[in-house]
Amino acid sequence: MTHQVKVLITGAGGFIGYHLTNYLVDRGYWVRGVDIKEPEFEPTRANEFLLLDLKLIDNCLRATESIDEVYGLAANMGGIGYIENNKAVIVRDNTLINLNTIEASRINSVQRYLYTSSACIYPIYMQNETNVTPLKEGDVI
């Protein structure tokens, strides 16, 4: 009997998380979605969906329990105005989310972990024009 891979998608209530959930469910994965909010556009197709604040280690331990792979998409996000006016809060929140989820994954023997980021790590002056050179990791300051 083949083991069905159990996947955790953090940030599963967001746009990318929602679509990743559908993609993995369609391919036979068992998916646990976690977010601080319900999916915005349609009900989730995740096998299990938990409303959890991943800034808290106990919630991360619960989210990663019995999981094989984690897709880390959760983040404190907003439009550029929110980001520009809340940098310290966002850095604190996202650091807690990521470190706690990684530590909980280690404790719960998760086999694979995918860390993701976004264009929001690049300076705003590099994102003001639509006709620009594609951003590279080296552009992060």
Predicted confidence band of residue 140 (pLDDT cuts 50, 70, 90): low
Give dist(CA 49, CA 69) in Å, integer.
16
Domain ranges for the chain, please list them: 6-139
In the predicted model, what is the mean pLDDT of the chain?
90
Q: What is the DSSP string of the chain?
A: -PPPPEEEEETTTSHHHHHHHHHHHHTT-EEEEEESS--SSS----SEEEE--TTSHHHHHHHHTT-SEEEE-------HHHHHH-HHHHHHHHHHHHHHHHHHHHHTT-SEEEE---GGGS-GGGSS-SS-PPP-GGG--
How far apart are alpha carbons 47 and 135 in whole angstroms? 36
| Pairing mode of beta strands 30-35, 48-51 | parallel
pLDDT of amino acid 118: 66
Residues 6+ apart with CB under 8 A from 62: 50, 52
Task: List pLDDT tens digits, range 66-98.
Answer: 999 999 999 998 777 787 888 899 999 999 999
8 Å CB contact between 114 and 101: no
- Global confidence as pTM: 0.86
The pLDDT assigned to 10 comes to 98
- pLDDT of 1 over the 80 cut: no
Query: Is the pLDDT assigned to residue 141 strictly greater than 70?
Result: no
pLDDT at residue number 134: 75
Class of domain 6-139: alpha beta
